[in-house]
Amino acid sequence: MAINLTKGQKIDLTKENGDKLTNFCIGVNWGAIETKAFFGLSKNVQKIDLDLSCVLVDGNNTICDHLYSLLYRVEVLQQFGLPKGKLLTSDGAMKHTGDDLEGDTGGDDGIDNEIITVDLSRVNPNVSQIFFFLNNAGKEDFSQIPYAKIRMYEGTPTRVNAVFASYNVAAEPQYRGKQSIIMAKLYKRNGEWKFSAVGDPTEDTFLGQTIQRIVKSYL
């Protein structure tokens, strides 16, 4: 049975059969904004472009690798001292499926919009933490977006075999003005990987600001 996480909850990666979870997907799903029109007889659907990204941090609390959209402009990234986007980590252990520019426009379809595949057995041994976060490429905030969910599951980007854990963020007034969320992190403790549902919303309007925040406040 999948673990439904709450904000701040930490779990190890031990499956029900006692085996360790080492090869899995981190998927994020979110909904488009629907508003009623013509006295409730029809509806408008506003597509939402969220970006799932991650940064990998070594034992010296230095970012040593990253995955984020290829669509981020290099000249803007350079203002934050960041390299261009890429979809595969240097060690080949993690791969991003690429941008989803819309979200679920017909309600939750149960399929994750953006996914990062993870093989912990191949992650560079110097890596001690991996942060996963969402940035909104538009102007909406998370109080308007109906839901955002991150989950860990065994399978592939197109097939879910077994969900290990999930963490849900629903649209609530507390997210007004928040355009990014630091969703979760994988971290190594005594040589074993664990998972934490961070769930911290921020006012960051660009990925570079979120990465700076992670470096300043979470390392």
Residue 14 DSSP code: B
Q: How far is CA 178 from the centre of its chain?
A: 15
pLDDT at 168: 87
Stated pTM of the model: 0.91
Band (pLDDT 50/70/90 cuts) for residue 216 is very high
For residue 38, the model assigns a pLDDT of 62
- How does DSSP classify residue 22? -
Nearest to 167, CA basis, from 133, 193, 137: 133
Q: Domain map of the chain by residue range?
A: 3-217
pLDDT per residue over 144-182, tens digit each? 888 888 999 999 998 899 999 999 888 788 888 999 999
Q: Is 75 helix (H, G, I), strand (E, B) or coil?
A: helix
DSSP letter string, 24-63 = EEEEEEEB-EEEEETTTTEEEEE---EEEEEEEEETTS-E
Percentage of residues in the chain having pLDDT higher than 90? 63
List pLDDT tens digits, range 13-47.
998 888 999 999 999 998 888 776 666 666 777 88
CATH 3.30.1240.10 fits 3-217, yes or no: no
